[in-house]
């Protein structure tokens, strides 16, 4: 019996442009199971979707109560680790730009240009100013011009993988760096344990490498039709693409909706 549905947002539950379709919304409302959003996005991007329940944000670093609109748990990166990782990445990735997600906003140095207009951030004059102004770091972001994210992830993991968790969610040249041991799956496992839900009772949906931990942990996992090749390779089950409300299609079939 399925008791929990864990789903990524961009490229998975949402249509292009960050749209939650009426079909998908109605399906989530109708299923007899907990729905947990599991995303790289921080809480401020999730709250506007008007969903209820729980969101695991920033690749597992934050847990957000969608109904109460409050952060219930956060894992942060110590500033000495942040500085060490930034220095190490600057040595191995040419022209790398760094930014930090504080949980409230993104602060960046001028060389960081990994976000488009839909991802507002505040650029400061120096990286030291970023460190001075950030009250905490829940996620470190690294961006390199014209870099391929899979290759960049390999380089970064080798350079700093002993200090942090490195992944990406498909942005060109953009890496997402979390505290060590933090992942979507680790946080989801903790949440499920607290609710008395076994992993065999969990269905997960995802499309990018940062979803691999959840897809590997869940009892049943679906790669989206538009998923990254590594994700498709990792999952026996494939859902239709997000442009066709693939999550809703699978849930309608499984729950007889």
Position of tokens 């599991």? 38
* pLDDT tens track for 162-202: 999 998 887 788 999 999 889 999 999 999 999 999 999 99
Burial of 202 (0-12, 13-18, 19+ CB in 10 A): buried
β 97-101/70-74 pair status: unpaired
Single out the residue of 169, 198, 197 nearest to residue 183, CA to CA: 169
d(CA 53, CA 56): 10
Question: What would the two tokens of residue 216 be?
Answer: 């590997």
Torsion of CA 47, 51, 52, 53, to 10 degrees: -80
What band does 93 get if pLDDT is binned at 50, 70 and 90?
Answer: very high
* pLDDT tens track for 57-87: 999 999 999 999 999 999 999 999 999 999 9
d(CA 81, CA 83): 5
pTM over cut 0.85 = yes
């Amino acid at each position: 019996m399925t008791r929990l549905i864990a789903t990524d947002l961009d490229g998975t539950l949402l249509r292009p442009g960050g749209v939650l379709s009426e079909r998908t919304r109605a399906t989530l409302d109708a299923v007899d199971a907990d729905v947990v959003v599991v995303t790289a996005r921080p809480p401020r991007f999730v709250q506007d979707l008007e969903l209820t329940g729980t969101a695991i944000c920033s690749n597992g670093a934050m847990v957000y109560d969608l109904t109460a609109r409050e952060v219930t748990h956060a894992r942060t990166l110590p500033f000495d680790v942040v500085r060490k990782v930034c220095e190490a990445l600057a040595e191995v990735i040419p022209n790398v730009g760094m930014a930090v997600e504080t949980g409230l906003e993104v602060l960046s140095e001028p060389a960081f240009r990994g976000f488009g207009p839909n991802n507002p951030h505040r650029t400061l004059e120096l990286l030291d100013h970023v460190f001075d102004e950030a009250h905490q770091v829940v996620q470190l972001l690294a961006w390199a011009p014209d870099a391929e994210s899979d290759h960049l992830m390999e380089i970064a993991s080798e350079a700093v993988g002993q200090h942090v968790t490195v992944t990406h969610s498909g942005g060109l040249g953009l890496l997402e760096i979390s505290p060590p041991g933090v992942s979507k799956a680790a946080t989801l496992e903790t949440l499920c344990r607290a609710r008395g839900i076994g992993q065999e009772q969990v269905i997960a949906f995802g499309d990018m490498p940062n979803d691999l931990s959840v897809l590997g942990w869940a009892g049943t996992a679906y790669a989206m039709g538009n998923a990254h090749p590594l994700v498709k390779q990792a999952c026996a089950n494939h859902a239709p693409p997000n442009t066709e409300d693939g999550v809703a299609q699978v849930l309608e079939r499984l729950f007889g909706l």
